[in-house]
Amino acid sequence: MEKEIIAYLDNEKIVDTQSVDSKNSKALKELYFDNSKPSLEVLRHSCAHLMAQAIKILYPSAKFFVGPVVEEGFYYDFRVDSKIGEEDLAKIEKKMKELADSGFEIQKYEITKDEAIKKFGDDDLKQEVLLRIPNGKVSIYKQGEFEDLCRGPHIPSTKFLKFFKLTRVAGAYLGGDEKREMLTRIYGIAFADKESLKEHLHIIEEAKKRDHRKLGTELKLFTFDEDIGGGLPLWLNNGARLRSKLEQMLFKIHRLRGYEPVRGPELLKADAWKISGHYTNYKENMYFTQIDEQEYGIKPMNCVGHIKIYQSDVRSYRDLPLKFFEYGVVHRHEKSGVLHGLFRVREFTQDDAHIFCMPSQIKEQVLEILAFVDKLMKIFDFSYEMEISTKPEKAIGEDEIWDTATKALKEALDEQGLKYGIDEGGGAFYGPKIDIKITDALKRKWQCGTIQVDFNLPNRFKLEYTDSDNTKKQPVMLHRAILGSFERFIGILTEHCGGEFPFFIAPIQVGIVPISQNHSDYAKKIQKILLELGVDSQIYEKDESLSKKIRTAEKQRLPMIIVLGDEETQKQSVALRDRRAKEQKNLSLEEFTNLIKEKMNEVHF
């Protein structure tokens, strides 16, 4: 993959564009790229070098660290004497276009690592990069006066870089280590054609409007306060309502699917984490404390607690599969630089479950979970895809166990004809997994749910059940989350629907607008009726004009607004504004309550 460049010359695929004679103008004129993943990786990486070349000209003191291709495009980390802000991106971009039009030939040459160390002797950032490169030959790519250490490959000339845009400036710790200096990072995007770039930029602008941090403030869902610490969300009334409705809905679905609610402690002795392998493989992500001169770890996952609940009783094959679920609050150590609204926090709640079953039940349980996933994603109008992640470098357990577990996942998906990708080395340290990646309204992909097959933890904790032949056997443990965490999912859902939440979980489902104080009692009567139906409402009774009250309610993106005046009070009716259906109509109070009941029953499990 690394060496492959998808480009075409006379409609024939070229595997390595370095073989294209860059001095042959006819060849270069007919060379073009598409928007396939391998092609975009080369275009974007070449564009990163173009950006670095422009920065070096505009800011001669700049020194560069790394400039990789990432999911959202590309970036370069660098040190510069001047402060660079968003307002400087246009200047850098203009210089990039000038350099691209100049058609610099992009050339590759190789030297030994020792030669590279001497060549970049006065550049401490290059020395940092060289520390990460094994001994042997080092490749360098050069265009004009700019050159940098790089594995490549690159396009043969800057003239093929036509459709790009710098998107934002950020700070980044050197090597991702928050104890080291902060570098400047500039992100950008590039495509093979103008239309794709235009569509992507439209999505970026739309994403800014839908940013869950912005909407979270506007809709009074959640807030953060540095006085209590970063990455620790405070749920406001509206957010707590929304979250509670989501939890209640999921609680009902779990019970209907045979899951039993359990709850484990948030603090466990370090000895338990040593048995599980978390102490060795996950310690850097955990918080520890001392109690009575013993070390305790705050849980980053719920699995150990559920294992101990399994061990609290004698289990038979007749009990299996045994399904435990918990809305477990977990804590993980995240660096300050990666915290991002609800997407990356230090405390969050998983919609977690663990299924203890016999090996022969793995396939049916995985398929049942996938049916659960499908149902839930359709409720929220998400499409999704799946990926099997295999054994990582840092793992526990024998290869044979991993192979058995990975095979079970593949067979379950293959049997149903379900498509999936493979993420080599992306599994949890204790077992392979299926990751559920959802696609939102802006065509962005998010990793949420996961299904993990685990033979290792049952073995480490010596879990048993009595089989039909009265012998002791070891169960298999399936780790499963569908939303991933309530925090992250609510952040994704907020951006997916732009704050226009489905009626059944909207924090305020009905806005009640009495025209004057004379209609206040009727408004309170309706509010009480709605509350008995499990529907949250808000009465807008400030001494303001009717139009201002309605505008205030509309800014909260409420699904429904009812206006109450003399006629409605006398006739016991409502003037309804249905935001989702985009219609207005008058209904009797009975008709309105029936409509509400229908709305609340629209979601079938």
User: What are the residue numbers of the active site?
Assistant: 303, 332, 350, 352, 354, 433, 479
Residues with Cβ within 8 Å of 60's Cβ and at least 6 positions away in sequence, in order, are: none
| C-alpha to C-alpha distance for 396 and 418, rounded to whole angstroms | 29
Phi, psi of 539 (to 5 degrees): -95, 125
Element (H, E) at 278: helix 278-281
| C-alpha to C-alpha distance for 129 and 126, rounded to whole angstroms | 5
Phi, psi of 93 (to 5 degrees): -65, -40
CA distances from 81 to 63, 181, 441, 461, 587 (A): 10, 13, 41, 56, 67
* Partner residues linked to 585 by β-bridges: 576
* Partner residues linked to 17 by β-bridges: none
Residues with Cβ within 8 Å of 509's Cβ and at least 6 positions away in sequence, in order, are: 503, 530, 535, 536, 537, 558, 559, 560, 599
Question: Strand locations in 440-485, DSSP E?
Answer: 445-454, 465-466, 472-473, 476-481
Element (H, E) at 347: strand 347-357
Instruction: Report the interhelical angle of 520-532 vs 589-600 (nearest 10°).
Output: 30
Q: Which residue has the tokens 């802000």?
A: 85
Contact 143, 172 (CB under 8 A): no
| C-alpha to C-alpha distance for 443 and 440, rounded to whole angstroms | 5
Q: What angle do CA 476, 481, 484 make, to 5 degrees?
A: 150
H helices of 321-427, where?
362-379, 399-415
Contact 512, 562 (CB under 8 A): yes
Residues with Cβ within 8 Å of 164's Cβ and at least 6 positions away in sequence, in order, are: 47, 50, 93, 96, 188, 189, 190, 191, 197
Contact 10, 30 (CB under 8 A): yes
With CA atoms as reference, report the closest residue to 273 among 251, 250, 302, 249: 302
| C-alpha to C-alpha distance for 107 and 96, rounded to whole angstroms | 18
Question: H/E/C letters for each residue in 236-265?
Answer: CHHHHHHHHHHHHHHHHHHHHCCCEECCCC
Q: For the CA atoms of the chain, what is the radius of gyration?
A: 29
User: Which DSSP state fits 155?
Assistant: -
83 exposure class (CB count in 10 Å sphere: 0-12, 13-18, 19+): exposed
**What length does the chain have?**
605
| C-alpha to C-alpha distance for 377 and 446, rounded to whole angstroms | 13
